[in-house]
């Protein structure tokens, strides 16, 4: 953690970092904050950076790194399309220009145990679609089917 002010999620993120390290994915950088959205409300966040050289992730799959992101939103602006209240895990792939792709959901619940987060990150880094205890084994197939249905309905 880069700030000396203790935040509510620091112990959780520390435990996740320890689990990642134990799983052979030593983070290159860790950052926690109480960020702000467009000046309207604050939220808790953490970013864990994994790189091929420091973390041992596949340089062919993630040559410019991988971010794991945790956020806890207040839900204040949920009616305006912002996230609902509570935690979530996401990931982003690094690009050659130093930017990152749009966040995608990590297969770990917002309050998943640190070992489940580490297992989900390891599977992602390896290109696996392995299901985790807090996720239905056919969730990816169901999500794909629902997305296809929504696209069909939107075209009517």
Six-digit token pair at 141? Answer: 């197939």
pTM: 0.76
Specify whether the CB–CB gap between 67 and 48 falls below 8 A. yes
Specify whether the CB–CB gap between 42 and 36 falls below 8 A. yes
Q: What is the pLDDT of residues 55-88, one digit of tens each?
A: 999 999 999 999 999 988 877 777 777 777 778 8
Least confident of 27-31, 42-46, 136-140: 136-140
Q: Is 57 exposed, middle or buried (0-12, 13-18, 19+ CB in 10 A)?
A: buried
Whether 12 has a pLDDT exceeding 50, the answer reads yes
Whether 40 has a pLDDT exceeding 90, the answer reads no
Which among 53, 56, 65, 60 has a CA at the least distance from the CA of 122?
A: 56
Residue that wins the pLDDT comparison between 145 and 114: 114
| CA–CA distances in Å: residue 78 to residues 70, 84, 85 | 18, 5, 8
């Amino acid at each position: 953690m880069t700030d000396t002010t203790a935040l509510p999620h620091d112990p959780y993120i520390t435990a996740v970092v320890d689990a990642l390290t134990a799983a052979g994915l030593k983070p290159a950088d860790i950052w926690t904050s109480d960020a702000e959205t467009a000046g309207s409300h604050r939220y808790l966040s953490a970013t864990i950076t994994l790189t091929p050289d420091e973390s041992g992730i596949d340089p062919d799959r993630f040559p410019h790194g991988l971010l794991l992101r945790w956020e806890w939103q207040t839900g204040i602006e949920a009616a305006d399309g912002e996230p609902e209240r509570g935690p979530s895990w996401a990931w982003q792939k690094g690009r050659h220009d130093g930017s990152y792709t749009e966040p995608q959901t990590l297969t770990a619940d917002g309050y998943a145990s640190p070992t489940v987060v580490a297992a989900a990150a390891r599977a992602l880094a390896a290109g696996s679609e392995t299901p985790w205890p807090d996720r239905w084994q056919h969730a990816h197939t169901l999500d794909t089917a629902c997305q296809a249905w929504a696209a069909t309905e939107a075209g009517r």
